[in-house]
Amino acid sequence: MKKMKKLFAVLLTLAMVLGMSMTSFAAPETSYISNIKVTGLSSQEDETVNLYAAITLNEGKNEWVIADWAKPYIHLSADGKKYEITNAAKLTKHVGGTPIAQQHSKGETEVTFKNVPVGAYVVTASGTKIAYAPMVAETYNSGATYMQAKDVKLVAKSTGYDVKKDAKDNFVKRGQEVVFTITTTFPSFDVANSADNSFKIIDTPTGLDITKVTSVTIGGAETTSYTTNKNNDNGEYTIDLKDAIGNSNANAGKTVVVTYKATVTADNGYSNTANAYRNNTVMGSDDEKGFTGNITLTKFAENGSTILEGAEFKLYNAIKDEVKAEGSTVTALSFIKISDGVYKLALTGEAGATDTLVATNGTLEVKGLDEGTYWFKETKAPEGYSINADGTENVTITENNTAHVPMRTSLKDTKLSSLPSTGGIGTTIFTIAGCVIMIAAAGLFFASRKKSDNK
C-alpha cells in the first residue's frame, strides 16, 4: 500500500510538471510593435521622412484595417485576418492622408521610427536637393505561427541626386591650371550585392585638359576605392567608384567629394559638365564655365582715323612704367598665331610660340589672357612712320570682362616727314643764316663773273 502511495505521488508530481510545461508551450507568442529604420539618406542636407499607415491591426477584433487611400491596392480576406498588397507601385504613388510620424535626418544618413504598430506602411523622404522614391515597409511577420511584428530596414532610393560643380577660378588664362570640385551623394541600390551595380562620375570638358584626380572622399573620409579613365578623343574623364559600393549599401547617402586639376587649353574660356550615373542612369548633373580676356589694338596715323598697316608689337603683363624702368627684367608674353593679326597666349613649351605680334589691316587681337594689367610696346612702325616709343596706355582686364567683350586700345604714329625738329630754335637760326650766306655767295659769284665778261 505504501508503495502504491509513493507511485501515485510520483505520477501526480509528473502530471503537474507536464501540465505546467504544456501551458508554457501553448502560450501564443504575440508582438504588436516594431522599429522601421530608413537608411541611404543624403548627408548633404536635412531630409524630411514621413510614415503613412496603409494597413494596421485592430487588436480587439484581431482584424486588419485598411486606410481609405490604400484600399484599391490591398486585398483583404473575407474574415479580415489576412491581407495582400496587390500593387505596391500604385500604393506608393497614391499615398495620402496625414503621416502618423515624421523624422528629420539633420544631416545624418538614417532615421528610425520606433514602436510602430504591426502592419504595412509607406515611407516618403524628401529634401531641397534630392528626391526619393516612396518605400513600402511591412512589419507583419506573416511566417510566424502567432501574431508577430518584425523590425524593418529600408534603403532610400533617390530618383535624382544633386550634383554640384565648383571651380577655384572662373577668370583664367590659357595654360592656367584650375582646381575643380564635384560634390554629390553616394547612391543606394535595390539589390545591394549585385555584381552589376555601378556608380560613376563623368566629366565632359570643353577647352580643358583634365590632368589628375587629387582627392576622393566618401562621408568625409578619403578613399582610394576608385579608378579613373580619360578618353583621348574628346577629353571625357571618368571617376569609377564601383569598388566603393560594397554589398550592403553601407555608403548610401554619404557625401562624395571629388577634387581634380585641369589645364585651360582654349583661348575663349572653358566649360565642363559633370554627370553622376547609377547603373548607367543619370542621377544628376551640373556644369561650370570660365572665361578668358581679349584685347584688340588698332593702329592709326596721327589724325586718329587713317589705319596703318605693318606695325609690330610686344605685349607685357605689367604696367608701362615697370617695363620701361631702368634694369627692368619684365619679359614679353609669348603667343601662337591663329590667323593674320590674331594671336592666342602660348602654353608652356608650345611649338611655334613667338613674342612678336604683327598687326594686319591695322588691327591686332590677342586672346586667352587672364585678368590683370597689360601694356603694348611698339617694336616696328609702318613704313614712313616713326615708332611711338611711349606705347599704348595701360589696359586692365577685370572679372567683368568676358571673351565676348574684348578690351580695346589704340596707338598713333607720326610721319617721318612731319616730325618736329629737335635741338631748339638755335638750330633754325643757323639754318636760315646758312641759306642767306649761300645766296649771298652765289650773288657775288655771278656778279664777279659778269665784270670779267665786260672786260
How far is 164 from 183, CA to CA, in rounded Å? 5
- pLDDT band for 104, please (50, 70, 90 cuts): very high
Cell for 368? Answer: 586667352
**Residue 308 confidence (pLDDT) above 90:** yes
CB 237 within 8 A of CB 205: yes
pLDDT reading at 167 higher than 80: yes
Considering only CA atoms, give the Rg of the chain: 44
Q: Cα 178 vs. chain centroid, distance in angstroms?
A: 12
Q: With DSSP H G I counted as helix, E B as strand and the rest as coil, what are the percentages for the chain, rounded to 5?
A: 15, 40, 40
Enter the C-alpha cell of residue 386.
616713326
- The CATH superfamily assigned to 33-159 is Carboxypeptidase-like, regulatory domain (2.60.40.1120)
Q: What is the pLDDT of residues 236-295, one digit of tens each?
A: 999 999 999 999 999 998 999 999 999 999 999 999 999 999 998 998 999 999 999 999
Give CA–CA dist 226/244, Å, rounded: 7
Question: How large is the average pLDDT for residues 344-351?
Answer: 96
Residue 35 vs residue 79, higher pLDDT: 35
In the chain, what are the domain boundaries?
33-159, 161-290, 293-417
Match domain 161-290 to its CATH number in 1.10.3980.10, 3.40.50.2300, 1.10.150.20, 2.60.40.740. Answer: 2.60.40.740
Return the pLDDT at 18: 47
Q: Which residue has the cell 672786260?
A: 455
Q: Are 368 and 344 in contact (CB under 8 A)?
A: yes
Q: Which of 145-154, 158-167, 204-213, 419-428 has the lowest mean pLDDT?
A: 419-428
The reported pLDDT for the residue numbered 27 is: 42
Domain 33-159 shares a fold with domain 293-417: yes
**Fold topology of 293-417:** Immunoglobulin-like (2.60.40)
pLDDT band at 313 (very low <50, low <70, confident <90, very high): very high
Report DSSP letters for 143-176, one per residue.
TSSS-BB--EEEE--EEE---EEEES-SB--TT-
Contacts of 212 by beta carbon, 8 Å cutoff, 6+ apart? 228, 260, 261
- pLDDT tens digits, one per residue of 393-408: 999 998 775 545 689 9
Q: Which three cell numbers stand for residue 336?
A: 601662337
pLDDT of residue 3: 53
Beta bridge partners of 124: 50
For 165, the 3-state DSSP assignment is strand
Q: What is the end-to-end Cα distance of the chain in Å, rounded?
A: 206
pLDDT band at 371 (very low <50, low <70, confident <90, very high): very high
Q: How far apart are CA 266 and CA 173, in angstroms?
A: 9
Residue with cell 596706355: 393
Count of other CB atoms within 10 angstroms of residue 299: 27
On the question of pLDDT at 449 being above 90, the answer is no
Cβ neighbours of 432 (radius 10 Å): 10
- Within 10 Å of residue 455's Cβ, how many Cβ atoms? 4
Greatest mean pLDDT range, 59-63, 144-148, 220-224, 250-254: 220-224
Q: How many CA atoms lie within 13 A of 134 on its CB side?
A: 18
Res 138 pLDDT > 80: yes
Cβ atoms of residues 123 and 88 within 8 Å: no
Report how far residue 40's alpha carbon sits from residue 48's, in angstroms, rounded to the nearest whole number.
13
DSSP at 192? T
User: Strand, helix or coil at 35?
Assistant: strand
